[in-house]
Chains A and B, each alone.
Chain A
Amino acid sequence: MNLPPFARSQRLTIVSGILCFVLILVVLQLWLLTATMESFLGGSDAIVVPAALASIGCFALNFGLLHFFLRKLDR
């Protein structure tokens, strides 16, 4: 993906947007972790695997944003 060089104000806006998105996903992961732990300690294993997959999905999105966009912005 060849992006043109961004102006400084544009870069700040983009990184702020990425930050908000990543923050929402991390809060979602935190909620998933606490809910899974609560359920696991309560003796139920039903949500352990779906929650782990959802958390991995969130991380993949975060990693994609960090890897592709921040690398482009850092040029």
Chain B
Amino acid sequence: MKIDDPDHVSKSPDGRDARLQPAWREQFPVDWPTDDFRSRRDFTKLLGLTSLAFVAGQLWIALLSLRRRAKESRSLPETEIASVAELPVGGSKVFDYPRSGAACVLTRVATDRFVAYGQKCTHLSCPVIPRPERNRLQCPCHEGAFDLATGEPIAGPPRRPLPRLKLAIRGGSVFAVGLEEGTL
């Protein structure tokens, strides 16, 4: 008789050959070495599925990246935010850009210098508050802070910079004209 497993030792309760046993007995062996083989094989198969899930995750990020690039390449509208005279040095104004509901904050940091950032903290999306006297934007939820000049995180839990807006000053008014690349 030809046998598939040269050191097969398990005997079925009915004593018949392994080939004649029902399929379920193959999956639920009675001896430890065979059971070890089955459990490790099944765990390896599960890892194979996990591997596939990671590939799906990578492809999802690649898709988001493509969408972001397409979005960045599209020109954003030019919107008047405030007049230069309206804001004193150290003053701020909250406005929506590029669409309604996307809150941003404009701050006048010097006589001839304005900065504007998305107002959502990059940690958990609380609105950040400008603190020009401390040269930072403060998030009151978890005491996060961003550099007012660059938008880079300088304290607390945030690890990513705030989205920074491109500004233009024309005819005594400040305009938002787009987003700085790589800050969205």
**Which residues of A are in contact with B by a Cβ distance under 8 Å?**
5-9, 11-12, 15-16, 18-19, 22-23, 25-26, 29-30, 32-33, 36-37, 40-45, 48-49, 51-52, 55-56, 58-59, 62-63, 65-66, 70, 73-75
B44 is contacted by which of A19, A52, A59, A75 (Cβ under 8 Å)? A19
A8, A22, A36, A66: which contacts B8 (Cβ < 8 A)?
Answer: A8
Contact B47 A9 (CB under 8 A): no
- Across the interface, do A19 and B40 meet the contact criterion of CB distance under 8 Å? yes
Is B47 a contact partner of A23 (Cβ separation < 8 A)?
yes
Is B54 a contact of A8 with CB atoms below 8 Å?
no
Let me know if B54 and A52 touch, CB within 8 A.
Answer: no
B45 touches A15 (CB 8 A): no
The answer to whether A30 and B34 touch (CB under 8 A), given A19-B47, A45-B65, A73-B41, is no
Q: CA separation between A62 and B54, bound complex, in Å?
A: 12
From DSSP, what is the main secondary structure of chain A's interface residues? helix
Instruction: Provide the bound-state CA to CA distance between A18 and B41, in Å.
Output: 9
Interface of B is mostly: helix
> How far apart are A40's CB and chain B's nearest CB, in angstroms?
5
Assembly CA distance A44 to B55 (angstroms):
19
Inter-chain contact B51/A7, CB cutoff 8 Å = no
Return the CB mask of B24-62 against A: 1 if under 8 Å, else 0. 000000000110110011011101101110110111011
Contact A26 B47 (CB under 8 A): yes
Q: Shortest Cβ distance from A72 into chain B, in angstroms? A: 12
Identify A70's interface contact among B44, B58, B61, B182, CB under 8 A: B44
